[in-house]
Structures are given as structure tokens and as C-alpha cells.
Chains A and B, each alone.
Chain A
């Protein structure tokens, strides 16, 4: 159905031609596409589908949003496409993952940077947490760091890959604790990294709060710390890394939101920036997100712009040595 909608949108695009110059008062006049740079069924795709499901309502955009998946290379394929090939006419949106795309653009080899996109609004914030198997001898981050200091480079812990939130969290932990750690990136993303922890292939792991929460409910892991500024509503009993004495901020938190390619008319950006956050606030959306264990964090365009700039600075500093 989404495919059909996307197809219909494409056909309409060809018929109606270029956008009118009436200050975009009638925007949107046809269904909108939103590119998700991860596969169907992943956490980003799953959340993107939920938060956009009310787009067709009269009090929202009045037009449905169809999801278009362009997975590959940790999101690089989709964001390359959005930066270079997508039309900046307001009918092609994209989902962003911070710190992923900013870290990738700092590392290089991609055709985008934070300047290639204009943020619209943020819908979710999934902090990274530190997990260990349920039978692990570690019961706090201090236990973990103590072991790592006694056995430099021997503490193996998994994460979803390089230049993603988990990797940033790992770098921060290494820096703040001063211990040498062995971060093992997994090629199967967060799920693969979690499996490595549960199966005992590694001694611990950095993972998404939402997935770790589920794994703890299933009785498979212990969660030792949250890489965020404050404790999370889903895990009120788990202290932050900061509380445990490590100077770690929220730079690794996986922020998800909506953006458009640079060059999209300002009138459309303003309209989207005004409407989209209220769309996220819809009760049905919040209910489904909560049921799925996905923490919501709604931010407006101005707040997101500020967050992007701050992230870029921290990440440049963190990744400088790599």
C-alpha cells in the first residue's frame, strides 16, 4: 500500500509539474514521501511509520506520508540519496539519526554533512545503555571499569557498528574512565550486538535503551548505566553514567526526527516546522510509541538546529583521534 501511495505520488508529481509560487499556502497538495535510511522493520522505520500515521488528519498535514526505505551502509546510502538526488520541493522528507549521520560526515567518504539538510522536528530520543548478561559478575559501571583497569584492552563489549551512537558512547566511556576497552562493532546492528551479550560472546555491550529494556523484561540482561543527562522514565532504577562518576553527556543519544534536503522553499519549511511537532503530540501516536517501548522526545526546529550544532562540535572533538 505504501508503495502504491509512493507510486501515486510520483505520478501526481509528473502531472502537476513545478510547485506554485503562491507562498505555498496550499502545501501539501499531494501525498508526501519520507525516506528512511534503514530497512523495513528496523527501529527507525518502525517509529517513522508510527509518528507519521496521523499525517493525513485535517489538523495535521491533511495529506498522508508514505515511507520509502533506502537502506544500506549504515544509513549512508539513504542520506547520500537525500542530499544529492532527492527533489527539494517539500514532497520528499527524510528521517535523520543523530549522531550517526553527523559522525559519518566527519569521518568522510559521504556526500552530505549537517549543512546538506534542514531539520523540521525531532520525535524520539533513544539513549544508549550499558548491558551485561544476567549472570555477569558486574553489577555497576565501577565494576566494569575496575576490571578494565586491571586488564587493559581485555574488556570486550559489543555495539551496533562504528560511527553510530553506541560507538560514540564507547569512546566517551573510554575517555571518561581512562581505561582501555575493546569495542567490538557488530555487523547485524543493535540486535546482533544484543545477541552477542546474551550469548556471552562478549563481556558487555552498549545498546539502545528500548531494546535493552525489552531484553531485561525477558530476563536476559542487567542494565548498568544510561548514557544520558538524566535517568529515563522506562528505567527509573538505572543510574546515569554521570551519577556513577563519569563525565559523560548525552552526545551518544540516538535522536530521531524529520528533515528536508537543503534548498526546500522556506515557506514550506516554516509550515512543516509548525505542523509536524503537533502531529507528533497526537495521543494515538504517543500511545503506540509507549507500547513499543520507544521513548519520545519532541523538539521544534529551532531546538533541533541548536542540538545539531552542539553535536557536531562534540563529535569532531571525540572523533579527532580516529
Chain B
């Protein structure tokens, strides 16, 4: 309960002002395509030079939580996921916005972000010592199996058929091999200097999701643009609460998956949203509605990606190991004030540690309030005529992919992948499995190589990868996941065959 003792510090006027600036600024930065949470926090670090340690961290903590949630705004309204965490949000969120339910989608996303986020921070407060052990439990072999588990999700994720899903997953896996490989430094498929660092994930996300829709908007021409204007439905906040309460399963799965996976260093943040989305789809009786603008999809994805915020800081705060790029930036923010995370932080600077954690807690609430306030207004974006919208999205896509590392190369990558994806989509392929392949490829590969190096030096490949409780558990889940997909596919085929016979 130590955190309550420092709760007052958050409400000192100047601190609270910083919290407000961090939250609102974070939402705006998060909603800007191309500005990932990591970058938003990195951009704020120089401002904390002048502040006291606790104040600086209030600003950074608030910005971190709200940029993650802010990413949902561009995912829902523009179909540009701000960061890998928001990929799953586009699947149902953007469809809802296109149906005129943008306000509802935004309200649900902010509410479920807040629920997931607060749960995640509470985990951080109460279970840190336990979680720290859990974070360390995942070695190379376990991370490899975890990535394989992600690969099994590919087939069932947002595709018209398992085969097409797997095919686009394979394209993603191939794209992920481009560049100097992480461990050996070998050059692979570098046709152009811009590809030396590999395909930047943010640039790829923007291209794969935003460009196909820009092309189809332009392709429609301006003939019937008048008829396309969508009526944006008003959605009272009260009914958003009720909608959230009526989907406790999606909220529960999202929060649980987000907090468990978010904890695993280096993997969590990127895939938490997608795994939660896929799991709630599998457990939902209305699974056919997923992908067509179903509230559960938004709830699961957004509660998962904010639930991961708290646990993802556990390795940093307890072991002084940054588990994610954003945590590495926060480490810089601590070091600049001479504070070492770990026992030093909680023993000698409890005011800093707990004020920081509290600010993330209060930040979640503020973020939710502010988000709900602007949701109705922001949803009007859907009313912008398509031709204008296409130009705006295109401009944002170029700006976003350039700003990641100030490189035109990323813009070319974005444009090339986007154009390719436009044609793939016409054949029933989908961007989400492709991106998942792109994310999982390096995780699976690097961990397999590291694991096999350790294994050959010690007790051999088979014992290293195939024994141990955690390995076996993961393998069982992988097998179950594959069988489930096959079974669902067969069942779906039987039904369609029957229907076809009847007609």
C-alpha cells in the first residue's frame, strides 16, 4: 500500500499540470502516424533535463500510457496503426468507423484501454517481485516457441481462407529477413541501400494498411463521392459503458493476455494486441462477426495493448534491464537524474518510483476522460469526402514513415509495400497476417539461433528445445492452436458445401 502514501504528490498543482500535458500531448503524439510511443517518449526526454526526477518521470509515464492509447485514434479513423500494438484495433475499429460508428469505436477503445491499463499498473504495484521472476523465465527456447505460437495464429487472422492467411504470413516472414541479420551480420536481400537496416516495422505498417485504401479511394474517382458521405451516429457515453459491460469476455481475455505477454521482454508489446484479438475471436460465440465492425474486436485489442504498459516496466524497475525500446528510453530518463532502477530506486528514491507509477494510474483515467470527450468530435473525420481523405491519409503516410528515422528510404519501402498490398488485397489476402509474419520472423529466428548456439555448447538441441515445463506447455498450446484452426476450417467447409448443395 506504499503507493497510496505518495498519491498526494501527483496532485501537487505543478505535477498535475505536467501530468495533463503528458497525457494530452501523448494522445496527440500517439494519434500522429509514425510517432510510436518509444519515439514520443524519446522526444520528451530533453525537456526532463530541467525538471526534478519525479516530475520528469510523471511527464514520461503519462506520455507513455497515453501514446499507446492514442495510437488507436489513427488506427480507427484512418486505418493507420500508429504502432504494432494497434494493428488489431484497425481490423474492427476502422470497419466500425466506416459504418458511421466511429464515436462508439473510439469510446470503447478508450474505456477498454483504461480498464486494461489500470489493471496492468495495479499488477506492477502489487506483484512486481513475482512478475520479475516470470519475466526472467523466458529464455531463447521459450521465446522461439512463443513466436511459433504466434505463427499458428496467422492462418486464422482476418483472412478469407487459412491458405491465403498462411501465404501472406510467409510473405511477411520473408520480408523480415531483409537486411543485415541481427546476429551474424550477414547481408540478405539488400537490393538498395535503404534496405540495409531491414524493413522498418512502422513504415511497413503504414504502407500495408493505409496505402491500399488510399488507392481504392482514388480508384473510385469523384463520381459518386457525394453519395459516399457517411452519417456519423452519435453515441452517448453511457451506452459505451453498457457496451463494454456486455462484453466481459473480450475485456477479460484482452486484459489477461496483455498483462501476461506484455511482461516478456522484447516480445510482448508488439503481439499482445493481435494475440488477444485472435483468442477472443476463438472463444466468442459471435466469431463470424469479427472483422466486420464488431465491438469485441476493439475491446480485446485495446485492453490488451494498454494492459501491457505496466508489466512491461517490471524488468526495468526491478532488474534494471529495459525489456522494451520504450523502457530503454525511460531508463535514460532515470539515469539523467542519477537514479538507478532496481533496489536503489525503491529503497532510496521511493518518492520517484511511486510517483511515477501513480502518475501512470491517474494518467489512464485522465486519458480516458479526455478521449471520451473528443471521441464524438474526432469521429466526424469519417465525413470528410473520400477524395480529400485519400490526399490527407497519403500525406500523413509519407510524413509518418519519413519521421521514423528521417529517411526517404522508409518512404519508398512504405510506398512499395503499400502498392503491392493493394493488389494482394484484391485477391483476398490481408495485411494483418503479413505484418504478424514480419514481426515474428526475427523473434523466431534470433532466438532459435541463440538457443541452438547455447544448446550445441551444452546439452544438445533436442533437450534444450523440447524439455522443461515451460517448453512443453508452449508446445502443447502450439499443437492445440493448429488443431483448432484445422477443425474450424473443416467445419466451415462442410457448412458451405451443404449450403451450396441446397441452392
Residues of A within 8 A of B (CB): 1-3, 6, 39-42, 45-46, 49-50, 53, 68-74, 76-77, 80-81, 84, 104, 107, 109, 111, 153-156, 161-163, 182, 184-188, 191-192, 194-196, 198-202, 214-215, 217-220, 288, 290-294
- Minimum CB–CB distance for B41 against chain A, Å: 8
Interface string of B145-187 (1 = CB under 8 A from A): 0000000000000000000000000000000000110111101
Tally A-B pairs: CB < 8 A.
176
Contacts of B43 in A (CB 8 A): 1-3, 40
Whether a CB of chain A sits under 8 angstroms from the CB of B49 is yes
Q: Is residue B47 within 8 Å, beta carbon to beta carbon, of the partner chain?
A: yes
A-side contacts of B140, CB under 8 Å: 201
User: What B residues does A3 contact at CB under 8 A?
Assistant: 43, 403, 406
Tell whether B7 is near chain A: CB-to-CB under 8 Å. Answer: no
B45 CB within 8 Å of chain A: yes
B480 CB to closest chain A CB, in angstroms? Answer: 27
Min Cβ gap A295→B in Å is 13
Interface of B is mostly: helix
Chain B residues contacting A200 (CB-CB under 8 Å) are 136
List chain B residues, Cβ under 8 A from A194: 321
> Across the interface, which residues of A come within 8 angstroms of B321, CB to CB?
191, 194-195, 198, 215
Is the pair B453, A182 in contact by a Cβ cutoff of 8 Å?
Answer: yes
Cα distance A1–B450 in the bound complex, in angstroms:
39
Verify A70–B406 contact, CB threshold 8 A.
Answer: yes
B335 touches A72 (CB 8 A): no
A–B pairs, 28, beta carbons within 8 Å: A1-B46, A2-B43, A6-B406, A40-B38, A41-B45, A41-B331, A42-B328, A46-B335, A46-B336, A53-B46, A69-B406, A70-B407, A72-B179, A109-B185, A155-B457, A182-B456, A187-B446, A187-B450, A195-B265, A195-B315, A195-B321, A195-B323, A196-B139, A220-B320, A290-B338, A292-B336, A292-B338, A294-B335
* The one of A40, A111, A201, A217 that contacts B139, using a Cβ cutoff of 8 Å: A201
Mask of B423-456 contacts with A, CB within 8 angstroms, 1/0 = 0000000000000000000100010001001101
Number of interface residues of B (CB under 8 A): 61
- Select which of B403, B405, B457 is within 8 A of A156 by beta carbon: B457
Looking at the assembled complex, report how far the CB atom of A7 sits from the nearest CB atom of chain B, in whole angstroms.
9
Give the residue name and chain of the B residue nearest to A186 (CB): B450
* Listed residue (A84, A185, A288, A293) with the most chain B CB atoms within 10 angstroms of its CB: A185
A217 and B450 form a contact (CB under 8 A): no
Q: Beyond A2-B46, A186-B450, list 14 extra A-B contacts (CB 8 Å).
A: A1-B46, A39-B325, A71-B405, A73-B179, A73-B180, A73-B196, A80-B193, A104-B185, A109-B187, A162-B183, A182-B456, A195-B265, A198-B319, A291-B337
Known: A107-B185, A195-B321, A292-B338. A187 touches B442 (CB 8 A): yes
Q: Using a CB–CB distance below 8 Å, which chain B residues touch chain A?
A: 38-39, 41-43, 45-47, 49, 136-137, 139-140, 179-180, 182-185, 187, 193, 196-198, 265-266, 315, 318-323, 325-326, 328-332, 335-338, 340-344, 403, 405-407, 442, 446, 450, 453-454, 456-458
Query: Do the beta carbons of A218 and B319 come within 8 Å of each other?
Result: yes
- A217, B458: Cβ atoms under 8 Å? no
B residues in contact with A69, CB < 8 Å: 405-406
Distance in Å: Cβ of B11 to nearest Cβ of chain A: 28
Establish whether residues A77 and B340, one from each chain, have CB atoms under 8 Å apart when the complex forms: no
Bound Cα distance from A294 to B137, whole angstroms: 30
**A41/B450 in contact, CB under 8 A:** no
Chain B CB count within 10 A is highest, among A191, A192, A219, for A191
Chain B residues near A81 (CB, 8 Å)?
407
Name the B residues within 8 Å of A198 (CB-CB): 136, 319, 321
Using Cβ atoms and an 8 Å threshold, which residues of chain B touch A45? 332
* CB closest chain-A residue, reference B447: A187
Q: Is the CB of B341 within 8 A of A70?
A: no
Are B320's CB and A1's CB within 8 A? no
Contact B180 A74 (CB under 8 A): yes
Q: Quick check: A214 and B342 within 8 Å, CB to CB?
A: yes
B320 touches A70 (CB 8 A): no
Q: Which residues of A have CB within 8 Å of B343?
A: 217-219
Query: Which residue of chain A has the shortest Cβ distance to B180 in the bound complex?
Result: A73
- In the bound assembly, the distance between CA atoms of A291 and B335 in angstroms comes to 7
Nearest chain A CB to B422 CB, angstrom units: 27
Partner of B325, one of A41, A46, A72, A196: A41
- Contact check, B344 vs A218: say whether CB atoms are below 8 A apart: yes
A219 to B341, CA, bound (A): 11
Collect the chain A residues with CB atoms within 8 Å of residue B182's CB.
161, 187
Chain B residues in 8 Å Cβ range of A49: 45-46
- What residues of chain B lie closer than 8 Å to A290, measured between beta carbons? 338
CA distance A291 to B184 in the complex (A): 34
Q: How far is the CA of A69 from the CA of B458 in the complex (A)?
A: 39
Shortest distance between the CB of A275 and any CB in chain B (Å): 22
Q: Which residues of A contact B41 (CB under 8 A)?
A: 41
The listed residue (B265, B342, B403) touching A217 by CB distance below 8 A is B342
B42 touches A41 (CB 8 A): yes
Q: Residue A218 contacts which of B184, B342, B403 (CB distance < 8 angstroms)? A: B342
Cβ–Cβ < 8 Å partners of A73 in chain B: 179-180, 185, 196-198
For the complex, what is the distance from the CA of A84 to the CA of B319, rounded to whole Å? Answer: 40
In angstroms, Cα B132 to Cα A219, docked, is 14
Among A3, A6, A80, A199, the most chain B Cβ lie within 10 Å of the Cβ of A199
- Whether A53 contacts B49 in the complex (CB less than 8 A), given A161-B183, A214-B320, comes out as yes
Q: Are A288 and B197 in contact (CB under 8 A)?
A: no
CA distance A12 to B442 in the complex (A): 40
- Contact A72–B183 (Cβ < 8 Å): no
How distant is the Cα of A215 from the Cα of B319 in the complex, in angstroms?
7
CA distance A308 to B45 in the complex (A): 32
Query: Measured between C-beta atoms, what is the minimum distance from A318 to chain B in Å?
Result: 16
Closest Cβ of chain A to B179, distance in Å, is 6
Chain A, Cβ-Cβ closest to B196: A77
A188 to B321 alpha-carbon distance, docked (Å): 11
Residues of B within 8 A of A68 (CB): 406
In the bound assembly, the distance between CA atoms of A156 and B446 in angstroms comes to 17
* Contact A154 to B183, CB < 8 A, known contacts A41-B38, A199-B136: no
Alpha-carbon separation in the docked complex, A74 to B456 (Å): 25
CA distance A199 to B319 in the complex (A): 10
B184: chain A residues within 8 A (beta carbon)? 162, 185
Chain A residues with CB under 8 A of B179: 72-73
Q: Which B residues touch A76, using CB under 8 A?
A: 180, 185, 196-197
**Shortest distance from the beta carbon of B417 to any chain A beta carbon, whole Å:** 17
Expressed in whole angstroms, the minimum distance between the Cβ of A301 and any Cβ of chain B is 27
Report Cα–Cα, A293/B266, bound state, in Å: 24
Return chain B residues, CB-CB under 8 Å to A80.
Answer: 193, 196
B139, B315, B321, B336 pick with most chain A CB within 10 angstroms: B321
Considering the complex of A and B, which 4 residue pairs feature the smallest CB-CB distances, nearest first?
A: A72-B197, A218-B342, A291-B338, A41-B329
Q: Say yes or no: B38 contacts A191, CB within 8 Å.
A: no
CA distance A73 to B405 in the complex (A): 14
**Distance of A154 Cα from B323 Cα, bound (Å):** 28
Nearest A residue to B338, CB-CB: A291
A237 to B198, CA, bound (A): 43
Please indicate which of the listed interface residues A46, A111, A182, A187 has the most CB atoms of chain B within 10 Å of its own CB. A187
Q: Across the interface, do A187 and B406 meet the contact criterion of CB distance under 8 Å? A: no
Contact yes or no, A40 B39, CB < 8 A: yes
Within 8 Å CB of B47, what residues of A?
A: 1
Do A191 and B328 contact each other (CB < 8 Å), given the known contacts A73-B197, A201-B140, A293-B335?
A: yes
